[in-house]
Structure 1
């Protein structure tokens, strides 16, 4: 597993009325600080990624549909430098992935329906100076060729 990555499997509480699952709590070790909350909607057949942040930690959770989240450790000083992490999440496999800064990441919607990825980053997005650095999907420095499509960024 990529150094610094944290994964939390989510408990789903279900009854005849529906279900409930907690994503992130301020009293658990995974929580750092609140920046903002947003949802990134993915379309089947498209990839959103590669990109990384220099300061920001992300907390990813697929709350609708299913997605493949792929991580690449781009940190030269990391014990897991050059490693790939791949996680199929959503549906019956609910979890939160806490992604460290400088770890390159992207996601691909799986199946025939849109997927919704909820993120709780520890930083507020700065439109004038965004902490977001994009890398092309086919960049040869990232040893990953399993995206089912080449559509995306």
Structure 2
């Protein structure tokens, strides 16, 4: 149920660069946000009917939990910045992201539509 994609990583004595090679991510992204969470904070606990999101942990570590709102199937994964993976959130999959570990967690989200205050397409659903 949780779909992930490994980024291509280049490393040398200067550090590293993680590169997205999935055309689907860039072709469908119209909006992004960055969230910062202190340890033990949970964000999300909602689902979308239309929106598709890709999450990337820039710093720290997170537990990402997902529940299919129709089948009630649940799954969770732990992702850290060192993993260099994108996590795909599909419509009708309720999700929550918990900052775990001892440091701030920074997350980048790429979304397939621009946020609209009049039609946010966000529905509360407790996962974590």
What TM-score comes out, normalization by structure 2 length?
Answer: 0.89
Q: When you count strand as a share of all residues, which structure comes out higher? A: 2
Contact 1:74/1:103, CA 8 A, preserved across alignment: yes
**Structure 2 unaligned residues grouped into runs of 5+:** none
Q: After alignment, is 6-15 or 52-61 more displaced?
A: 6-15
Matched, 1:19 2:9: no
Q: In angstroms, what is the RMSD of aligned CA positions? A: 1.8
Which 4+ stretches in 1 moved above 3 angstroms? 29-32
**Structure 1 unaligned residues grouped into runs of 5+:** 76-80, 138-146, 148-153
CA distance in 2, matches of 1:12, 1:34: 21
Matching residue of 1:105: 95
1:41 deviates by 1.3
Q: When you count helix as a share of all residues, which structure comes out higher? A: 2
What TM-score comes out, normalization by structure 1 length?
Answer: 0.75
Contact 2:8/2:21, CA 8 A, preserved across alignment: no
Name the SS of the counterpart of 1:92 in structure 2: helix
